[in-house]
């Protein structure tokens, strides 16, 4: 029973639900912790079957022997604000559990440049260990970069149409959690204090909100939330076409490699 261990930031839960909704022959196991409520709600809403396992039982892989087993381990948003803590948690999670699987896929990017050597650092496991990359082999910067499909498009979007006008990007998950993300990014201690937060945005040079539409609609209020965000902070709205290309391709690539090694093929 070939198996894949996915270590992921909660910010990718929509992309993960999309992958699991498309899959037909996997046995999905969710490591139960305080970060899984959102993805469980979406999986349940779309009738995607899964089982929950405790962190202590990861090594048991209680999946069906005839299926491809995927164990998903979601980590908290708060790590994104502290790169050193993020690296420590991701590395420790892989070190503790990675040896039980046939491959590991990490749904993170460089994230403050601390995860760039992850694949080399875990080469000693002698299994495929991957981090999200674009089609050119570049590790993505972060979840926003992943949503754009490649680093080049992301960099072009960040430059903007006018010099000195910064853009604050919102994917569906970023939009749904924007207050929490502003606090974690240390842009404001109180996101409900709109005037203070607007002052910080102005001082930081932000003039636009960028709606990055990945085509996923698991977060129902995306459009309204972006409109509200633009109105609250007096931002111009910029629209970008995103995709799930990077997350889809990375998942299917490592799945194929694991299946080939086990003498099987993509189901």
Residues of the chain with pLDDT below 50 are 267
Contact yes or no for 143/177 (Cβ under 8 A) = no
Residue 245 confidence (pLDDT) = 96
Residue 34 is predicted with a pLDDT of 95
pLDDT per position as a tens digit, 181-222: 999 888 889 999 999 999 999 998 899 999 999 999 999 999
Render 200-221 in DSSP notation, one character per residue.
Answer: HHHHHTEEEEEEEE-S--SSTT
The pLDDT of residue 67 is: 81
The pLDDT of residue 84: 84
Q: Looking at 29-142, list the stretches that DSSP marks H as alpha helix, in order from N- to C-terminal side.
A: 37-45, 83-97, 118-121
Q: Which long-range contacts (CB under 8 A, 24 or more apart) does 31-38 make?
A: 31/55, 31/58, 31/71, 31/72, 31/73, 31/74, 33/74, 34/76, 35/10, 35/74, 35/75, 35/76, 36/74, 38/10, 38/13
CB distance 211 to 236 below 8 Å: no
Tokens of 88: 């420590």
CB 148 within 8 A of CB 157: yes
Cα gap 176→130, rounded to integer Å: 28
The pLDDT score that the predictor gives to residue 77 is 81
Domain boundaries in the chain? 3-142+244-262, 150-241
Q: What is the Cα–Cα distance from 106 to 122, expressed in whole angstroms?
A: 12
HSE of 258, CA atoms in CB hemisphere, 13 A: 25
State the pLDDT at residue 58. 79
Strand order in the sheet with 3-9: 51-53, 26-31, 68-75, 3-9, 104-107, 129-131
Do 214 and 14 touch, CB atoms closer than 8 A?
yes
| pLDDT value, residue 92 | 96
CATH number attached to the domain at 3-142+244-262: 3.40.50
Instruction: Name the token pair of 104.
Output: 């590991």
Six-digit token string for 46 = 């779309």
Measured in whole angstroms, the distance separating CA 63 from the mean position of its chain's CA atoms is: 24
* pLDDT score, position 11: 94
Q: Where are the alpha helices (DSSP H) in 100-243?
A: 118-121, 143-148, 151-159, 172-176, 178-184, 194-204, 222-233
């Amino acid at each position: 029973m070939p198996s894949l261990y996915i270590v992921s930031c909660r910010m990718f839960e929509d992309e993960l639900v999309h992958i699991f909704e498309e899959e037909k022959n996997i046995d999905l196991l969710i490591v139960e912790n305080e970060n899984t409520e959102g993805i469980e709600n979406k999986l349940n809403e779309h009738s995607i079957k899964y089982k929950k396992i405790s962190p202590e039982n990861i090594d048991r892989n209680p999946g069906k022997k005839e299926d491809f087993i995927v164990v998903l381990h979601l980590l908290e948003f708060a790590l994104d604000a502290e790169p050193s803590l993020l690296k420590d948690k991701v590395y420790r999670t892989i070190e503790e559990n990675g040896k039980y699987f046939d491959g590991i896929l990490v749904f993170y990017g460089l994230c403050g440049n601390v995860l760039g050597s992850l694949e080399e650092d875990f080469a000693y496991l002698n299994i495929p260990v991957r981090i999200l990359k674009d089609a050119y082999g570049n590790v993505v910067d972060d979840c926003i970069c992943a949503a754009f499909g490649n680093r080049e498009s992301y960099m072009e979007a960040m430059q903007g149409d006018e010099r000195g006008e910064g853009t604050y990007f919102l994917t569906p998950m970023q939009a749904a959690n924007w207050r929490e993300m502003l606090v974690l990014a240390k842009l404001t201690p109180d996101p409900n204090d709109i005037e203070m937060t607007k002052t910080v945005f102005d001082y930081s040079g932000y003039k636009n909100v960028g709606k990055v539409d990945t085509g996923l609609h698991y977060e129902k209020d995306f459009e309204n939330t972006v409109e509200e965000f633009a109105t609250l902070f007096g931002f111009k709205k910029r629209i970008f076409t995103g995709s799930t290309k990077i997350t889809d391709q990375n998942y299917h690539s490592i799945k194929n490699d694991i299946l080939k090694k086990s003498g099987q093929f993509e189901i």
